[in-house]
């Protein structure tokens, strides 16, 4: 499955996007020569990108090979704790600092994404876009940088919690509640709504993992 090389996109971004889209999944081996051929770049930028991804713990060593890292239970729990705090802060700041245009974009996203509740893959992409818009609406560059790192690490989870039965519609109602709080410029309510949204997503993922372990036993 060849990926088209986006214009003005470096090897790091292309490999990261491939992981995020599930082209490469946790445990998959990444081979420098194969990546260079897939993305139509030389091996040097690929090598540098792999080193950078390993430094960020998105790749792990398996002998002499590099594989896409995976998260154990404790790592996942730690990630969700950090995500809940940072996302809540982003919603709080968005309620305080978002422009009218940014708030209207969030409302449009919720309304458009309601049509995707039965398509987990598409809704997952829309969900990332929605959260990114809240991050940007916080108007805090350092918070955006930290949330980018958190969301990159989220790509190491093999499945999306939005694939759980009924989760798509529930998530959309939670998004609506978040946006209503931002529209009302109610920072406390926005913070609380987004924290609750992340908590429910975490509980959903824990149930998914428990069901998978049961199926494998």
At 162 the pLDDT is 76
Please count the CA atoms within 13 angstroms of the CA of 151 that sit on its side-chain side: 19
Answer CATH for 11-68 from 3.40.50.300, 1.10.10.10, 3.30.200.20, 3.40.50.150: 1.10.10.10
Global confidence as pTM? 0.80
Q: Evaluate whether 150 touches 83 at the Cβ level (below 8 Å).
A: yes
pLDDT in tens, the chain (217 residues): 444 444 435 899 899 888 877 788 889 999 999 999 999 999 999 999 999 999 988 999 988 889 999 888 898 999 999 999 999 999 999 999 999 999 999 999 999 999 999 898 889 889 999 999 999 999 999 999 999 989 888 888 766 777 778 888 999 999 999 999 999 999 999 999 999 999 999 998 888 777 766 666 5
CATH code linked to domain 73-216:
1.20.120.530
**DSSP category for residue 27:** T
């Amino acid at each position: 499955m060849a990926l088209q090389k986006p214009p003005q996109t470096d090897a790091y971004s292309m490999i990261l996007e491939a992981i995020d889209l599930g082209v490469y999944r946790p445990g998959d081996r990444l081979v420098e020569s194969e990546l260079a051929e897939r993305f139509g770049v030389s091996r040097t930028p690929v090598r540098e990108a792999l080193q950078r991804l390993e430094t960020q713990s998105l790749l792990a060593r398996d002998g002499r090979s590099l594989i896409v890292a995976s998260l154990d239970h404790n790592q996942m729990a730690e990630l969700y704790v950090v995500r809940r705090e940072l996302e809540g802060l982003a919603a709080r700041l968005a309620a305080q600092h978002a422009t009218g245009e940014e708030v209207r974009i969030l409302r449009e996203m919720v309304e458009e994404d309601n049509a995707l509740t039965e398509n987990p893959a598409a809704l997952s992409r829309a969900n990332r876009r929605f959260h990114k818009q809240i991050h940007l609406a916080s108007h805090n560059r350092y918070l955006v940088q930290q949330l980018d790192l958190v969301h990159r690490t989220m790509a190491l989870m093999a499945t999306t919690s939005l694939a759980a039965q009924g989760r798509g519609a529930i998530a959309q109602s939670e998004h609506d509640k978040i946006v209503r709080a931002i529209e009302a410029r109610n920072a406390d309510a926005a913070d609380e709504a987004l924290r609750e949204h992340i908590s429910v997503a975490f509980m959903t993922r824990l149930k998914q993992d428990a069901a998978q372990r049961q199926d494998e036993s």
